[in-house]
Structure 1
């Protein structure tokens, strides 16, 4: 049975959060990609009204005006046969992203499947490819150029969707490019567009093994770090280090991080790609 009092056990303050960020190596002016499950950490002891506001303002204060915060605002809209409203369609994966959408904070990438909120000085000038997990012309490449740090609040590294960029780079045999078409809305303007997602073959064998991902990355303690905070934990590492570690295993065995075993996924045909760059839009 759910006990609301349990959220007050092992509570923490903003100062505790700042000390955690310092231990993890987060610095002023950093670029942070933030994945989160905030309730997994419990409730702060500070007098707060809005949990997302507490975290957003704390992170913004910590990295400063020259820092950049990036939140996943994935909607999978075209996958569902739905239109994608850049200013209004809610993220399916991040309450922090939805806080930014509600408060009109930052810019949002135009990806109708895997959009991101970018809140930082570079955001007005960014353009990204319609190939969802591109490195060269995608948000992954931008983050690598910025030497971005990944911050996992209450969740493990297994939830880092950016790892799909490594799968796409290596052209793993159980994935293929699929085109998703639909309508994107920005204010009163609508346009038809296509986005290309490097999809997995739909079978149990190709599902990620989250325990293997988290356990393997934890073995690289010189590059990754996890610190207890409240009722849960916070993990962090440079995105470049995570990609390097992940790629080293997938190169040896493309099925290493999956449920497996390796299986014949049939003849997976890639869609023909018409690559385009789309700007990020102010919320």
Structure 2
């Protein structure tokens, strides 16, 4: 497919899955099948932007965990480890990047400026892009990935409810901001308790969301592969599981010894 190929079929797929004009959408993705349809990462990126229209906003995760090992992080140049689509988003000239070294995002569209200068200290905290998406009535779209491999929003809900099987772990690294100012900074991640053998195990909760009719679109590997959910409805459903004490076997499990 040529560089000027028509992306209308992709736009129609995304809208059929539940994305509407004016939406704020966080997109998690595996683009392997979509790339085989002949589209480039840049065309896939632009198809999501077209799907939300000029009044919409799209967040692409640029997650990179090298800083947890002490590697330097530079907002201007540190690459995403979440695939070609997210790198295409990072390299877009109008992209606004948020500042948590592990959980940063490229934000494009009408409300992108609201995310500038967001340096949330906790990856899933009350000032994080996850919280902003939640408060602003956004949606989460997942392309051809299981919940286990994509739905970081689960951990935001867990942090908001201070679940017993996770805790804040602080990491320190050399950090360069968008203006080129470098210094040592501290950031935290609400990590699972490895000493207790806690494993992230969220696919059962993903099935609940399907059963409750909260997802629209296609399951991974089927049709166009995109499913969409409203962040507020997902938050409420996951919060209900947490507060009712149903989390083991739904959001996490213990390592078998």
For normalisation by structure 1, the TM-score amounts to 0.78
| Structure 1 partner of 2:169 | 178
Structure 1 residue 261 displacement after superposition? 4.3
Match of 1:89, SS state, is coil
RMSD: 2.5
Match of 1:133, SS state, is coil
CA distance in 1, matches of 2:252, 2:196: 7
- How many equivalent residue pairs? 246
| Structure 2 partner of 1:219 | 211
| Structure 2 partner of 1:270 | none
Match of 1:165, SS state, is helix
CA distance in 1, matches of 2:153, 2:254: 23
Q: Which of 41, 59, 63 matches 1:74?
A: 63
| Structure 2 partner of 1:156 | 146
Q: Is the 8 A contact 1:14 1:44 kept in 2?
A: no
Structure of larger gyration radius: 1
Report 1:8-27 matches (<5 A).
Answer: 14-27=7-20
Change in Cα spacing, 1:142 to 1:259, as seen in structure 2 (3 Å) is closer
112-121 or 224-233, which moves further after superposition? 224-233
225-234 or 113-122, which moves further after superposition? 225-234
Structure 1 residue 197 displacement after superposition? 1.1
Structure 1: tracts of 5 or more residues without a match: 1-7, 264-283
Deviations 1:190-241 (A, max 9, x none): 12211111111126842222431332221111x2123268766211110111
| Structure 2 partner of 1:3 | none
| Structure 2 partner of 1:56 | 45
| Structure 1 partner of 2:236 | 244
Query: Is residue 81 of structure 2 the alignment partner of residue 88 of structure 1?
Result: no
Structure 2: tracts of 5 or more residues without a match: none
Q: Which of 109, 123, 134 matches 1:120?
A: 109
